[in-house]
Amino acid sequence: MLYSEKVMEHFSNPRNMGELSDANGVGEVGSPACGDIMKMYLKIENSIVEDVRFKTFGCGAAIATSSMATELIKGKSIDDAMKLTNKAVVEALDGLPPVKIHCSVLAEQAIKTALADYYTRLGINPVPILGELPDPEACHVH
Ligand code: FES
């Protein structure tokens, strides 16, 4: 089987899908090569990710990785959310086929972009905290 049971399960029954009207950090990343788009909404209070939602216009692996990524950062500190790597998301899903790894990078980037938006709204330059934001096209150079 190409996809693990966990991938199929998160694809069929995605967690935290939708929008957050009271989000205070929103990030959208797109992949010009495949045309997929992922949007992350974060509600951060006292440095904790109190709530998170995602919208993914993309392939099944992108949906499964965004679902898993939201589960991995919900209730966690900003620091933990910042450190979430696509590798950790892929491991939590029991792996992805190599051609689908770039989809998981989209989830990591969407979270970082949403965190950058959160800092920017507070008047804080996110670059010293998060580093240069990933180039969305970078997900196809792996
Ligand atoms: Fe584009 Fe999966 S094929 S995100």
Between the CA of 124 and the centroid of ligand 1 the distance, in Å, is 32
* pLDDT recorded at residue 102: 87
% helix, strand, coil for the chain, step of 5: 50, 20, 35
* Ligand 1 pocket mutation pick from 28, 29, 36 by most atoms within 8 angstroms of CB: 36
Cβ < 6 Å from ligand 1: which residues? Answer: 31, 34, 36, 58-59, 61-62, 103, 106
* pLDDT recorded at residue 132: 82
Range of the domain at 117: 5-124
Cα–Cα separations (whole angstroms), residue 58 to 108, 112, 141: 15, 19, 18
Q: Is the pLDDT of residue 136 over 60?
A: no
Q: Are 65 and 93 in contact (CB under 8 A)?
A: yes
- Residue 140 CA to residue 42 CA, distance in Å, equals 25
Tokens of residue 47, six digits: 């440095």
* CATH number for the domain that contains residue 71: 3.90.1010.10
Structurally, how many domains does the chain consist of?
1
Q: Is the pLDDT of residue 142 over 70?
A: no
**Each residue of 80-118: pLDDT tens digit?**
999 999 999 999 999 999 989 889 999 999 999 999 999
